[in-house]
Structure 1
Amino acid sequence: MLASFCADEYGLERCVADRVVDQALALVHVMGSTGEGATMAPSELVDPGWHTLILHTGWYAEWCEEQFGYFLHHQPNSKVRTRGLMTDVVARVRAAGFEVDDRLWGTAADCNPPACCGDGPCC
């Protein structure tokens, strides 16, 4: 349901949307469970996944309550998405035990965004 919406809403291939939503869930889980969300931000490619979660408010609210016991609000800020910030966020997500798709964070060595850091379908 979430990945289908993400694909349709943001014009992504379904297989890419699956990965985007997966990475957004990992990011939001780390933000909510550590309380360090103010120092974290999604990459440009992961951001549609977080927006997808938030647009499904009922599901998202229930998931937040189950995961951390409170609703994690989306509080956009004016941070610039630097490679350093993305590297820090990726390190935190990875340290929490999640698998990270470096191509979606702009931290892969061979990354060439915005085309999902790859040249073929489903990069």
Structure 2
Amino acid sequence: MTTMVENPVTSRRGRDLVSPELFEKVSEFCAQEYGHELSTARRIVDQALAFLKVMGDSRAFDMTPSDTVDPGWHSFVLHTQAYAMWCEEQFGFFLGHEPKAAVRTRPLIGSVVDRVRAAGFHVDDRLWGAAADCNPPACCGDGDGC
């Protein structure tokens, strides 16, 4: 009898979508601009990159990041040349950001988390307000709908 041992699936990381240097540059900016510890800013930027990849690849413009992840996108967008070049390389178009374009609700954020996870990315549930030990609005922080 032969027993097959399955290799555990390794989740993709958003940070691997950019060079280590760019990841650190954007993370440091996020930490300084938004008052996060650098370790937290790295988690935020990682999740923002995964989110952007899923949204751009699927052209799912109904997606929105959580309030906690959104500063990672802002931090990347403000590095305009690097962001524009990354968008062109990844998607063939510039992925624009419209502040408050969608009202964040728990079902919408849950849908986004499901899509990011389905694309094989690690999801940091605490940054999305989706952790089991998260009690809204303390974690979610996305308004009345969370």
Instruction: Give the TM-score normalised by the residue count of structure 2.
Output: 0.74
Which residue in 2 is equivalent to 1:29? 53
Structure 1: segments with no counterpart, 5+ residues: 117-123
RMSD: 1.7
Q: For 1:75 and 1:29, locate their aligned partners in 2 and report how far apart those are by CA, in whole Å.
A: 17
Mapped pair 1:14 → 2:38: yes
Cα distance change, pair 60–42 in 1 and its aligned pair in 2 (3 A):
same
Question: Runs in 1 of length 4+ with deviation above 4 angstroms?
Answer: none
User: Which of the two has higher C-alpha Rg?
Assistant: 2
What secondary structure sits across from 2:68 in the alignment? coil
Which residue in 1 is equivalent to 2:77? 54
Which residue in 1 is equivalent to 2:28? 4
Q: For 1:89 and 1:70, locate their aligned partners in 2 and report how far apart those are by CA, in whole Å.
A: 21
* % same residue: 60
Q: Deviations over 1:11-30 (max 9, x none)?
A: 00000000000000011111
- 1 or 2, which has the higher helix percentage? 1
Of 106-115 and 41-50, more deviation after overlay is shown by: 106-115
Cα distance change, pair 13–114 in 1 and its aligned pair in 2 (3 A):
farther
Residue 82 (structure 1) aligned to one of 105, 125, 129: 105
Q: For 1:61 and 1:10, locate their aligned partners in 2 and report how far apart those are by CA, in whole Å.
A: 22
Aligned length: 115
Which residue in 1 is equivalent to 2:67? 44
Instruction: Give the TM-score normalised by the residue count of structure 1.
Output: 0.87
